[in-house]
Amino acid sequence: MVFRFLTILSITVILGACTLLDAAGGNSSTANTADNAAPAAETAQKAEPAETATTEETDAVSEFTETPDGVAGSYLASRAALQDANFTRSAEFLQQALDKDPTNQSLIERVCLLYIMSGQVEKSLPLAQIWQTNKKNSLLPSLVLFLQNVKTGKLADAEIQLKAMEDAKLNKLTLPLLRAWMNAAEGKTDAAIDVLKPLFPSETAGGIILLHAALISEYANNYNAAMDFYTQAASRFTVMPLRLSMSMGNLYERLVEPAKAKELYDAFTKRSPNNYIFDAAYARLEKGGVAPANIRTSTDGIAQVLFDIATSFEGQAGSEMAIVYAQLSNYMQPDFEFNQLLMAELFEAFEQFDESAAIHAKLMGNPAFYWSAGLRLARDYDKMGQQAKSVEILEKMRKAQPKRVEAVTMLGDLYRNRKDYAAAIEAYSEAIENSEPVGKTDWPLFYARGTAFERAGLWTQAEKDLQQSLELSPEQPYVMNYLAYSWVERGERLDEALGLLEKAVALAPGDAFIIDSLGWALYRMGKYNDAEKILQKAVEARPYDPQLIDHYGDALWRLDRAEQARIQWNRALSFEPDAELKKSIDGKLEKGLKQQSMQEPKDSPAPAPASKPDNTDLLN
């Protein structure tokens, strides 16, 4: 993964980003729902390497080359580490540069920021003090020093830093929340609520503000007021978010109203039947246990403010800012599970799977998060190439909860990816059996098992499963693609296959693989002119895929455009195709294409995984 180094570390960008915090919490009517947001680690767009250095980068490199010997080398080593999102190593190298040039203000700011991003907030504190001394009204050092003073109980000093943030014109959402929690820490509950009241009507942030009003009231042991604020917060969302459901239900439990708590938990579980976040709460209700407090200290409250700021950046171009605020939240409350989940997702987005694995392993010790964290930990190990550890975790979960389908489904995906199709089929079959009676949401299981059957050479069973998947959910373009492509490859039901592929393209018009399948169907039917046009579109949509380029070259050859075909085949080779495709292309470059045979072998389209870590965004 490559990051734009100076874009991330530009203090102008970092401080300017603070003005974006008005959006924290999103639109209360639609954002932060528990069911409609995909985890950021699965959806975030990765930054591409810059083609050329920006003016800012050029100026910065010039600055470093004019400093004492060795500084430029440490800077470049830091930059290389940051390109891999290794914030700890990046901080180490840049600290070496700072040691050789200790008065360099730009280095002071960058090292301070890197220490925060790597979770070494204590190391950032002396640099934050120097930064603030040298540059009055700087927001980030004021915030860090404010947090240190609150955490250590130095509220008078914290008040000074809060005033510095006011002078620096910290935005109209973050500042009131911090001010409110400062008032709460000083025992001024009414004043804390008064600070927040003007923001209650906000359409974009009202729900989050009311949630904090409830937490402040709980902290002051004013439970009736807290429940009133929770109820108002809930009214701002079309679907009750998990965090609000958990906090509100928790308070109902402590108010000895277990039926109301259970009603909240049941509502969430009904929406997300494959999520087991409330198992621990159900067990506690059954035994008459006592729920833990939602908020223990004002430090915990400020940690939740920082978490809310971090989530406002997640999944955007500001993901680097998300890790800054998530790390600051972790500094204030290391055991805040929602922030731990956010940090793990951010590390996954940065492809730092060892970091996310460590967090998920820790979360498995919490009964409420055990199941989701276990699935995500197995995914992390798989991403790191440690499939044996993934299998070990999933097998343990499979045995512990044999009627739950998520672990065994993910096992099926792992086995299929390792081309152990017999084991994959067994796992998917177990998941299907445990899902009886099957419904619309079970279509991925039949799709996945169908692809495993097809790869294993068991076409009759594969065709049945793929058709069953479409019966359960008729508008799935990837299932249509796999089934229709398989028919084309077998020379069967070509007209029906063509119709399915046209429908799939209409449902997923930007998907290069589905476009390619349609073009290839036309090719196999001998409609080379039509095929060439469609296959060209597929290559334009995904210009670096050797399989798609190879198909396009084949169509060009059939149209007696041999030289253009050879150009495309050579292009395909330049993108490192697998051994089988390379051998096929080498043969065509040497001898050209023979007369088409309907049994001409081609790869099947790659299937999507049947499993996800869970079907709920736990951060909301």
pLDDT tens, position by position, 84-136? 888 999 999 999 989 999 999 999 999 999 999 999 999 999 999 999 999 88
Map out the domains of the chain with their CATH numbers.
5-287 (1.25.40.10), 512-591 (1.25.40.10)
Give me the helix-helix angle, 546-558 and 579-591, nearest 10°.
20
Q: How many Cβ atoms sit within 10 Å of the Cβ of residue 83?
A: 16
Whether residue 519 contacts residue 538, with contact meaning beta carbons closer than 8 Å, is answered with yes
Which three-class secondary structure string do you get for 129-155? Answer: HHHHHHCCCCHHHHHHHHHHHHHCCCH
In this prediction, residue 575 carries a pLDDT of: 94
pLDDT (average), residues 390-413: 92
Q: How confident is the model at residue 75 (pLDDT cuts 50, 70, 90)?
A: confident
pLDDT (average), residues 359-377: 93
Whether residue 579 contacts residue 541, with contact meaning beta carbons closer than 8 Å, is answered with no
pLDDT over 50 (residue 241): yes
Instruction: Tell me which amino acid residue 29 is.
Output: S
In this prediction, residue 170 carries a pLDDT of: 67
* DSSP per position, 461-484: HHHHHHHHHHHH-TT-HHHHHHHH
In this prediction, residue 197 carries a pLDDT of: 95
In this prediction, residue 10 carries a pLDDT of: 33
| Rounded CA separation 58/173 (Å) | 36
95-109, 119-133, 272-286, 385-399: segment of lowest average pLDDT: 272-286
| Rounded CA separation 549/565 (Å) | 9
Q: What is the DSSP-derived secondary structure letter of residue 313?
A: H
Q: How confident is the model at residue 616 (pLDDT cuts 50, 70, 90)?
A: very low
Q: Which residue has the higher pLDDT, 4 or 316?
A: 316
In this prediction, residue 15 carries a pLDDT of: 31
pLDDT over 80 (residue 618): no
In this prediction, residue 72 carries a pLDDT of: 78
311-320, 337-346, 364-373: segment of lowest average pLDDT: 311-320
Whether omega for the bond prior to residue 546 falls within 30 degrees of 0, making it cis, is: no
Residues 6+ apart with CB under 8 A from 188: none
Residues 6+ apart with CB under 8 A from 7: 13
Provide the whole-model pTM: 0.77
- The token pair at 247 is 């906090």
Q: How confident is the model at residue 77 (pLDDT cuts 50, 70, 90)?
A: confident
pLDDT over 50 (residue 368): yes
Q: How confident is the model at residue 21 (pLDDT cuts 50, 70, 90)?
A: very low
In this prediction, residue 608 carries a pLDDT of: 53
| Rounded CA separation 435/429 (Å) | 10
Q: Which residue has the higher pLDDT, 578 or 57?
A: 578
pLDDT over 90 (residue 62): no
CA quadruple 238, 243, 246, 252: dihedral sign:
negative
Q: Which residue has the higher pLDDT, 243 or 57?
A: 243
Q: How confident is the model at residue 606 (pLDDT cuts 50, 70, 90)?
A: low
In this prediction, residue 419 carries a pLDDT of: 92
Give the Å distances, CA to CA, from 433 to 409, 420, 453.
Answer: 11, 20, 17
What share of the chain in percent tops pLDDT 90? 66
Convert the pLDDT of each residue in 41-56 to its tens digit: 222 323 333 233 333 3
pLDDT over 70 (residue 374): yes
Q: Is residue 262 helix, strand or coil?
A: helix
pLDDT (average), residues 504-524: 94
Convert the pLDDT of each residue in 531-565 to its tens digit: 999 999 999 999 999 999 999 999 999 999 999 99
- The token pair at 282 is 């159900």
Q: How confident is the model at residue 164 (pLDDT cuts 50, 70, 90)?
A: confident
- The token pair at 486 is 């398989």
CA trace torsion 372, 378, 379, 385 (10° rounding): 170
Nearest to 523 by CA among 481, 556, 487: 556
Radius of gyration of the chain (CA): 28
